[in-house]
Amino acid sequence: MKADIVVIGAGIVGSTIAREISRYDLKIIAVEKNSDVAFGSPTKANTGIIHAGYDDKPGTVKAQLCSKGNVLWHKIAPEVGAPFKETGSLVVALKEEDMSLLKELKERGEKNSVPDLEIIEDRKELLRREPNLNKEAIAALHAPTAAITSPYELAIAMAENAMKNEVKILLDTQVTGIMVKTGEIRSVQTSKGRIKTNYVVNAAGLRADEVSAMAGINRFTIHPRKGEYYVFEKELNGFVRQILFPVPASISKGIVVTPTVDGNILFGPNAHDVEDKNDSATTSKGLDEVFSGALRLVPKLAEKKNMIIANFCGLRPEPDTNDFILESYDEVRGFINAAGMKSPGLTAAPAVAQTVTDLLMKSGLELREKGSFSALRKPIDRSVRRFDIERANWLIARDPAWGHVVCRCEHVTEGEILEAIRRGATTLDGIKFRTRAGMGRCQGGFCIPHQIKILARELGIPFQEVTKQGGNSRLLPYEAKELLLRAELDDSEEAEKGYPRS
């Protein structure tokens, strides 16, 4: 294969870069080791906040690109039909000592060009805006441009739009080497063959240090930092209206309580460094920490603990430089790092993509805009679950699958699932991230068998080959007959040992 550019990684950063450079007349291949886009830990498991941009120290790359990214997402998210809601945020001071930090954040924000920041020092006003906020709150920094999104849906939308603009995405394909000769990129070796190219963009998230080393750039390391979460069911929709932050902790923005674009309430994350880049397990100790952190902002959540429906954990790709690494290199021409994309990497992604485009140009790549570029993408139709009766009836008349509700908690129809498969979902998580099937109160207890049936039928594979997220994450390891046979074998072995028959 041949490409003008290879983008390594199809998380939010790689997908957004691929979509940005698809404006130009270039052959672009994105290579992703997972079975789908947005399956990497930080992109699929984060808070989904499009930050206003007051957290990061002015002068850092993060600070420059966060506020710029916020402005860009306000335009791009509607273009690509991704969920996006400008809720605003409050950083809440609970004691007098917090006030100096609140003022510092406001000053930082102003230096970072964040508009309309305001410190509200009237408790009555705070409680009018957030009736369930801790009554001891004394002040809060209000940032009206902070917004929420669904991070995986946003990444999928960017990848779909990139594909519409002729980007090829190779899934289940791992980059294993990068060939550099006389200071120039020559090719990328993958688990499925070699791609000849002179330009490579490294957006490999947690593995970006390893990929950079493949090109001979060994200047930084990335370690995983865990963040755990709880999710409340939608019945609490409206309990919290905007993103609530505590004053920031030393290594993170602290445990946040936020509404989600789908009407749930999410709280977390904590922040703990771990060794293993695959360790995304939640722990009871971590979740207890998250719960008590959330109660400091919204004490009334203590009465709602029985409304928690899920927990999860994401891994931040923390670089030892403590800033985004957005660089090209004289010694390896054509190699660009978009690495160290810790928080606010989701927010900054479109600004990162623009910077990468500039770096490609400075590295000698000729960029000619193509007339066929389309910035627009249609999302999967959600009229049925929104009870848009006229449109729902029209859809059902065309195909009765739109009238067959598969996920009862989220009201997801077979029509939506078929459309998700048509757009590239080949796994249960692929369907879940595109439609929300299995994300409700019962967490898929009812609909997963139905989804397995639909996937097996549409992909033409046996039930046993349907996976949760690709690889060997199969859900049905053997047929019932085989299971019984195995049980009988176990029994006969036990009988031989003289155990009573089970």
Rounded-to-integer distance, Cα 83 and Cα 226, Å: 25
The stretches of 132-247 forming alpha helices (DSSP H) are 151-164, 208-214
In the complex, the smallest distance separating the C-beta of residue 335 from ligand FAD, rounded to whole angstroms, is: 14
143 or 454: whose CB is closer to ligand FAD? 143
Residues 6+ apart with CB under 8 A from 449: none
Residues 328-333: contacts with CB within 8 Å, 24+ apart?
328/359, 328/360, 328/362, 328/363, 329/217, 330/183, 331/183, 331/216, 332/180, 332/183, 332/184, 332/185, 332/215, 332/216, 332/217, 333/183, 333/184, 333/185, 333/363, 333/364
Among 373, 484, 456, which Cα is nearest to 20's?
373
Burial 294-318 (b: 16+ CB within 10 A, else e): bbbbbeebeebeebbbbbbbbbbbb
Strand-pairing partners, residue 92, are 140, 246
Q: Establish whether 51 is a catalytic residue.
A: yes
Within 13 Å and on the Cβ side, how many CA atoms surround 37?
Answer: 33
Question: What is the phi/psi pair of residue 463, to 5°?
Answer: -50, -40
User: 3-state SS of 441-494?
Assistant: CCCCCCCHHHHHHHHHHHHCCCHHHCECCCCCCECCCCCHHHHHHHHHHHHHHH
Residues 6+ apart with CB under 8 A from 8: 14, 30, 31, 175, 188, 200, 201, 202, 203, 204, 211
Quote the tokens at residue 425: 């979902």
Cβ atoms of residues 26 and 5 within 8 Å: yes
Cis bond before residue 144 (omega within 30° of 0): no
Among 225, 443, 209, which Cα is nearest to 314's?
225
283 or 464: whose CB is closer to ligand FAD? 283
Question: What is the phi/psi pair of residue 441, to 5°?
Answer: -50, -45
Binding site for ligand FAD (CB under 6 A): 8-14, 31-34, 39-40, 42-43, 46-49, 51, 174-175, 203-207, 211, 227, 269, 314-316, 341-347
175 or 418: whose CB is closer to ligand FAD? 175
* Residue 220: count of CB within 10 angstroms of its CB: 18
193 or 400: whose CB is closer to ligand FAD? 193
Rounded-to-integer distance, Cα 138 and Cα 279, Å: 38
Cβ atoms of residues 234 and 298 within 8 Å: no
Pick the catalytic residue from 51, 404, 411, 450.
51
Residues 6+ apart with CB under 8 A from 460: none
Cis bond before residue 344 (omega within 30° of 0): yes
Which residue numbers are catalytic?
51
